[in-house]
Structure 1
Amino acid sequence: MRKLFLLFFGVLSIILSAQDGSVDLNFNTGVGPNGYNIMAMGLQTDGKIIVAGDFTSYDGVARKGIARLNSDGGIDQTFNPGSGIVGRILNLIIQQDGKIIITGDFTQFNNIQKNYIARLNVDGTLDTSFNIAGSGPSNAVYSIAQQIDGRILIAGDFGSYNGISRGRVTRLNSDGTLDQTFDSGIGSNNYLNSVVLQYDGKVLIGGYTSTYNNISRRTIARLNSDGSLDTSFNPIGSGGNIPIYTMTVQPDGKVIICGGFTSFNNVETGGIARLNTDGSLDTTFVKNNSASANSAIVLPNGKILTNGNFYSTSKFHRLKADGSIDKLFDTGGEVRRMILQPDGKILVCGYFNSFNGISKKQIVRINGEDLLSVSDIEKENIQIYPNPVKDILNIKSDETISDYEIYSLDGRKLTTGNKINDSKIDVSHLTKGNYLLKVKTKEKEQTTKFIKE
């Protein structure tokens, strides 16, 4: 009996460890990149990973600035960018068709002049149909986001796009040409680090800005879908005392901001804070001891993964939903980006050589908490079908459904609606990928994962 108990305890310890930030030892077992920093990454629907950094080879294979990894972290040699990048890729997104849009401060791709933005085919070659006749942005692009309709938001330090004046933020059509319906006018008076799309189509911008179209907006502003300033967002306030680096929108519409700031609207904060939907500081979010934060993602259970200088020891940490500390991780350097996989595991990249004492160079995958707790699974009484789904998701519940919400895995609310039993939800507008469906009944809320084909 004692042996059986010890065996059970050992297995339980392994399971709990695998759910709580342990390193996935089966990932990235090769030599990895030869540089110092992976600055951007993206996850394909097939589990392969695009990484960009200062490397010139990956697993001993020549790859300058960008590479694709198999789901186990090894180099995918079918993705070949040729001579690669001159400059740096700072951000990237993967489109529904598998093509990759890269942005940064680069000026060439595979010996072809491409200033600050380009699109690659699925095999890593340059997509020459993207903005075919235009000069592109006049300076670096630091952030990018894509709307559900395929149009592309970019922000950075540029003053024009294709020779047309645009004040450091603009929107492109899906082919890379300028979307003339989005006019930022004079725009931001200083460069922007982050652009984020809200579920209602409004646009958040953050960075070194202090005015937008000559109206005071320090470090953060919200724009309407046409590029004009949304004056209902923080109309009075001093903003952050030091610029915002990145932003994340929670499912409830509140905004998590990360940066080097120590106060917001003259209230003392750490380098991560949360704003209410009107832009005011959410004072229920616990002040922490972070000197700075690079980015954050909201987990489906409401907890927050973030990175930066925290308690002077940890570069990567998990917070509770109220901002208080939940868990610290030991990294041998700075963490830059994180991605939540559909299976609950988390990809982490940056400039580090170890994670929790295990040698891992610049990229690691850690085991995450389950997306649904045991109690959620036990109480679940909804059915969705088919799953994966192409156009119409059928939903059936033992209880009357008051409304539903669809979220991306990074916590963005994409769709809302009111439904009753045996209803159908049109998901044809969603891009391919993994989503969370939250259904509300009179008694409770339930969350279920589904895949859009």
Structure 2
Amino acid sequence: MNTPLRFIAGLWLGLGATATAAQTLDPAFQATELTQASEVEHVMQQADGKLVVSGGFVRANQMPVGPVVRYHADYSLDHAFNTNAASLQGMVVATRQLPSGKLLVIGEGPLKLGSVTRQDLLRLNSDGTPDPGFNAGSASVRLTGFITAALPNDQLLVAGNFTDYNGSGRNYLVRLLANGSIDNTFSPLPSTRPLPAWPCSPTAKSWWRGGSPTTT
């Protein structure tokens, strides 16, 4: 009767010794850095073929980046641009290239790069540095889900569910000058509700349908 008990006890002790050995650190093992996948919010192709990608990531091709990263046409990283834009803070949902080659960063809430902080709309120079000469202020409500279209001379059309923009009565649509101020010469037809179907421009590929934005 004692033999089976001794066998079981020996088996249990052997397994315990194996488990203890498995918990010992292996000095020869060099762990690599682990990163978590993040969603891409938007991809925009520039006129020169470069791709501007925005999302919640902090690395691209194992390199530290901000929420906006640019690739060359051959899909290699644009290191000069990415270095300048790496400290960008805020939630970025899309980007637009302006006729001048500058980039409009579209966010939800404050956007900060260097010493420049803007609400919802931040303009970058073509090299990724912030453009302090553009300040669009903010609408009477957060511009969540709003849409924009780039016009000649870096002017912008902005559509959303606002009825006031920077203290000026504007129903759902406003045109901004190149410095971000309201273009008071632009007077669209009055509307009592968000635009049901409004094409931003032939190149923006955005529409306002039933009060919700659609961007392709």
TM-score (ref. length: structure 1): 0.34
**Equivalent residues of 1:153, 1:169 under 8 A apart:** yes
**Equivalent residues of 2:100, 2:153 under 8 A apart:** no
More helix per residue: 2
**Equivalent residues of 1:271, 1:290 under 8 A apart:** yes
Question: Does the C-alpha gap of structure 1 residues 285 and 196 become closer, same or farther in structure 2, counting only changes over 3 Å?
Answer: same
Deviations 1:97-124 (A, max 9, x none): xxxxxxxxxxxxxxxxxxxxxxxxxxxx
Task: Structure 1: give runs of 5+ residues left out of the alignment.
Answer: 1-134, 310-314, 316-333, 339-453
- 1:266 and 2:167 aligned: yes
Question: Does the C-alpha gap of structure 1 residues 140 and 294 become closer, same or farther in structure 2, counting only changes over 3 Å?
Answer: farther
For residues 295 and 163 of structure 1, the distance between their equivalents in structure 2, rounded to whole angstroms, comes to 40
Alpha-carbon offset, residue 308 of structure 1: 3.6
**Equivalent residues of 2:147, 2:213 under 8 A apart:** no
How do 1:21-60 residues align onto structure 2 when only pairs under 5 Å count?
none
Tell me which residue corresponds to 1:290. Answer: 193
Deviations 1:34-93 (A, max 9, x none): xxxxxxxxxxxxxxxxxxxxxxxxxxxxxxxxxxxxxxxxxxxxxxxxxxxxxxxxxxxx
**Equivalent residues of 1:137, 1:159 under 8 A apart:** no
How do 1:133-282 residues align onto structure 2 when only pairs under 5 Å count?
138-183=37-82, 184-189=85-90, 191-213=91-113, 215-234=116-135, 238-240=137-139, 241-243=141-143, 245-282=146-183
Question: Does the C-alpha gap of structure 1 residues 335 and 229 become closer, same or farther in structure 2, counting only changes over 3 Å?
Answer: closer
Q: Please state whether the residue corresponding to 2:74 is helix, strand or coil.
A: coil
Alpha-carbon offset, residue 250 of structure 1: 1.6
Task: Structure 2: give runs of 5+ residues left out of the alignment.
Answer: 1-33
For residues 224 and 250 of structure 1, the distance between their equivalents in structure 2, rounded to whole angstroms, comes to 17
**Equivalent residues of 1:295, 1:336 under 8 A apart:** no
Q: Which has the larger radius of gyration?
A: 2
For residues 197 and 177 of structure 2, the distance between their equivalents in structure 1, rounded to whole angstroms, comes to 20
Aligned residue-pair number:
174
Alpha-carbon offset, residue 239 of structure 1: 1.9
For residues 266 and 159 of structure 1, the distance between their equivalents in structure 2, rounded to whole angstroms, comes to 36
Question: Does the C-alpha gap of structure 1 residues 230 and 276 become closer, same or farther in structure 2, counting only changes over 3 Å?
Answer: same
**Equivalent residues of 1:246, 1:294 under 8 A apart:** no
Tell me which residue corresponds to 1:342. Answer: none
Alpha-carbon offset, residue 146 of structure 1: 1.4
More strand per residue: 1
Deviations 1:116-165 (A, max 9, x none): xxxxxxxxxxxxxxxxxxx9995222222212322111223323322333
Question: Does the C-alpha gap of structure 1 residues 335 and 222 become closer, same or farther in structure 2, counting only changes over 3 Å?
Answer: closer
For residues 277 and 199 of structure 1, the distance between their equivalents in structure 2, rounded to whole angstroms, comes to 11
Deviations 1:380-425 (A, max 9, x none): xxxxxxxxxxxxxxxxxxxxxxxxxxxxxxxxxxxxxxxxxxxxxx
For residues 196 and 88 of structure 2, the distance between their equivalents in structure 1, rounded to whole angstroms, comes to 26
Tell me which residue corresponds to 2:15. Answer: none
For residues 261 and 165 of structure 1, the distance between their equivalents in structure 2, rounded to whole angstroms, comes to 36
**Equivalent residues of 2:148, 2:200 under 8 A apart:** no
Tell me which residue corresponds to 1:336. Answer: 214
For residues 279 and 187 of structure 1, the distance between their equivalents in structure 2, rounded to whole angstroms, comes to 20
Question: Does the C-alpha gap of structure 1 residues 292 and 261 become closer, same or farther in structure 2, counting only changes over 3 Å?
Answer: farther
Question: Does the C-alpha gap of structure 1 residues 136 and 243 become closer, same or farther in structure 2, counting only changes over 3 Å?
Answer: farther
Identity, % of aligned positions: 24
Q: Please state whether the residue corresponding to 1:221 is helix, strand or coil.
A: strand
Deviations 1:271-322 (A, max 9, x none): 332211111122233364333778732369xxxx94244xxxxx6xxxxxxx
**Residue type of the partner of 2:101?**
G
